[in-house]
Structure formats: structure tokens, C-alpha cells
Structure 1
């Protein structure tokens, strides 16, 4: 009789552990991206998102490099422009203080949409894409230099990723064609508790108003969305799912259940002696 009670008690513990494992497998399905794509075989073709290059606005900071055969000729123009970073740079709270104490890099677009470049003078760039601004600046540069090459890029193209990601923060990006997935990857991906089917994107309009938009990372149509490519100052907020709120209580419940089962086994063993 005593052996049967011991066997039954261990059987209960075994069932509890198996149940915990099944719950873990079930939760794995909740964190998978693009669940509408097949796991194998030929997948459906996803139409590309419409990419619209951002236009330069007042208060943007531009990195402008003018190159000629002799670099010394354009040294005065290129002062303050650093090499472009190869990866996104995070401006987290610990680094913001040090960044704010450094001199501004690049050339600031003033409130009227103009930039001032040594030798070339004052040039209006607001309302242009970087490609269009390149041609405008080059048209001024040819007045002073023979066959110059002009490069214009954003020095402060930044997006913020916050909420349930591993590395929330503001990210200064190395180029202007950056997708939602790129930004999430820079932030270290979503946590296990993130709500993947209702991620919030907040976009700043030209007049200063904000437009919210929600997308579902469990479906592949996000890659065709007009919001797939990010704009300057976009904010991505990843909400916590209900699992995070209940995780502590659930963990405690499982702990107490296992402890109670173990105590039951011990009580049975001692009472049957």
C-alpha cells in the first residue's frame, strides 16, 4: 500500500512538470513573427512597401561633404563633418549627458529652411530630399570648384524604440531608409512579454501634430504597409502583454503547487512508516 501512494505522488509531480512544459510550448507560439507564412515550401510573394524619401525640415542636422581632387581645397567646407557611422547609435540616458556636452556635428537647418556653408554661403534645403539637396548644393559648389562631388546625409536621423524591447532608447541611424524591423533589431528585439499583434507607431507630421498607427508583427502584411519605412523622429512603442502582469502571480502559483506536492509526498512517506 505504501508503495502505491509513493508511486501516485511521484506521478502527480510528473504530470505537473509535463503540464509546465506544455504551457511553455504554447507560449512559444505567441511570440512568433509572421505566423501567416508557411513553415516550409514555397511562400507567398509579399508586395513591397512604398518608400518615400524624407524631406529636410528646419532643425534637421545635415552632414555635407564636398570633395575635389585636392582635399585641401574644400577643407573649410568640410569642417565639423565626421565620417558616417556604420551602425545605429543609441542615445540612452547614461550617454545623453555626454552627448549634450559635445559640440553639434554637421550643419543645422535654420527655422527658415536654410543652411550656411563656408565659402558657398546660405542655401535653402528645406522641402528637398537629400538627393535633391545634393544637386542644389552642387550647383553652388561648381562656381568655386572644378567638378566637385557633393554628399548630403542626415546627421540626426533618429527614431525612438521604447516599451517591451531589450534595449529601449533613441537611435541615431546611419541612413534614412530604415524599416520598423531594422529599428526593432537595433533595440535588441522584443522581449518575451511584448504584445506583438498591436505595436504602436507614433509619427510626427510637418505641422507638429502626431499620427498614431498600429501594426501586427504576427502578419507579413506589415512589410507592405506605408508605415513600414520610418521617418525622422518616429516613435515605436511596444506594449506589454497580459502575460507580464500575470507572470509573477503565475510563477508563485506554480511554485506553491510544486512545494505543496512535494510536501504531500514527504507526509505520505513519513506517515506510512
Structure 2
């Protein structure tokens, strides 16, 4: 018996903190009272999203990574954090906190880790990614999947790399999609689904021609019924 088909996946994307990120940094230690001083945003509501994950217009309370890649923390002061993973940033901040707290622990999340879904999807919008990792099929699922008028074989991903826009394309109908460098989306990626070439024909048939055909058939049936 032949075994199941397997496809090698692209390497999982590990996100790194960058300028403009808003970080939730929660500090705990053996002294909860002392720890609370380092949690100025504790209890404040983070930016909200609807059931699908689409981002609302509210601003997330947290520590902003400035253009120099630095955040300001109580007592600790400036911490250069851009370019680090959240795990690396956790270790760095924990080491700084040992001067003030006994056995500190730190939890860091990127609150505005998001991707934008545009074009021929059911629910276009900006979507927050809570676990900081998402594949293109998962993101499309969050947006309600492609509309019937969307092309599955030429999905465009717009990505900023070193201050420049990079354009990549993904074919969901190909097995090679799993090895694409765009299979895992990066923070702030824009996904654009192109319409099929005959979108106008399909739309015109659905909204204009089809009701007309139904109306004609109904009229014929009524006339036929009365003539019997």
C-alpha cells in the first residue's frame, strides 16, 4: 500500500520586533506590589476586534517601539528592542529587572501584529494575529475565504523589506504553495486577491440576467396554468 503524499513546508516565520510595534509587557515577581509598578497598562482594554478577528479603530494600550527601535520602561529607562524576537526581548528585560525585583518573569506580546486582506475576499479588512504567526490559507479563512470571483492561482502579497515594497505571488492550486516564502505571512503584509477576468460576466449574469430568466419562466408557467 502506498503511503500518504507529503509536501515539505516552508520554514516557519519567526517574527522580530520592529519600529511601530505596540507591545504588551506584563511583569510578575515574588512581590506583586513591586511588580505592579512595571505594569502601567495592566487592566486597560487592548484594541478590540470582531468575531472574525478584524481590527477595530481603537488604539492598543502598550509600549510603543519608537523609530530608533527603543521602548521606555519604568525605572529601567530605554531598552533597544527592535530586531529581537519576543523570546529574546523577554530575556533582555528580565535581566534588567533583576536590579529591582526578585525572580522576575516577563510576558511580551505584539498587540498590533496584523495583516490586511483586500480584493476578492468575503470580508476584506485588517486582521490582528494573536499568536504572531499565520499562513496565507489561515488568513484567507479569517477573511471568509475567496469570493467566487477571486483568482486562486495568482494571489499577490505586498511586503515591506528594508524600507522597500516587495511583491510576491502565490498559487493556491499548486502543491508548491507550501514551500513558498510567502506561505507564512509577515507582520503588516498586504494580501490582494485579483478578480477573475470574466468577473463582470459572472456578476452581470447573477444580478441581471438570472432574475430575468426566472421572471420569464414564472410568467410562462402562470400562462400555461391558466390555459389548462
Normalised by the length of structure 1, the TM-score is 0.71
Mapping of residues 51-200 of structure 1, within 5 Å = 51-81=12-42, 89-91=53-55, 95-96=56-57, 99=58, 104-200=60-156
Secondary structure of the structure 1 residue equivalent to 2:33: helix
Q: Where has structure 1 moved over 4 Å in runs of 4 or more?
A: 81-88, 251-258, 260-264
CA RMSD, 1 decimal: 2.9
Mapping of residues 252-267 of structure 1, within 5 Å = 252-253=208-209, 259=216
Could you tell me whether the CA contact under 8 Å between 2:52 and 2:143 is conserved in 1?
no
Secondary structure of the structure 2 residue equivalent to 1:242: coil
Q: Tell me how many residue pairs correspond in the alignment.
A: 221
TM-fit CA distance, 1:189: 1.2
Question: Hey, which of these two has a bigger chunk of strand by percent?
Answer: 2
Tell me which of the two structures has the higher relative contact order, counting C-alpha pairs closer than 8 angstroms and 6 or more residues apart.
1
Secondary structure of the structure 2 residue equivalent to 1:89: coil
Secondary structure of the structure 1 residue equivalent to 2:90: helix
Q: Distance in 1 between matches of 2:159 and 2:153?
A: 19
Gap change, CA 1:110 and 1:261, over 3 Å in 2: closer
Kindly indicate whether residue 8 of structure 2 is the aligned counterpart of residue 44 of structure 1.
Answer: no
Q: Which runs of 5+ in 1 are unaligned?
A: 1-40
Question: Hey, which of these two has a bigger chunk of helix by percent?
Answer: 1
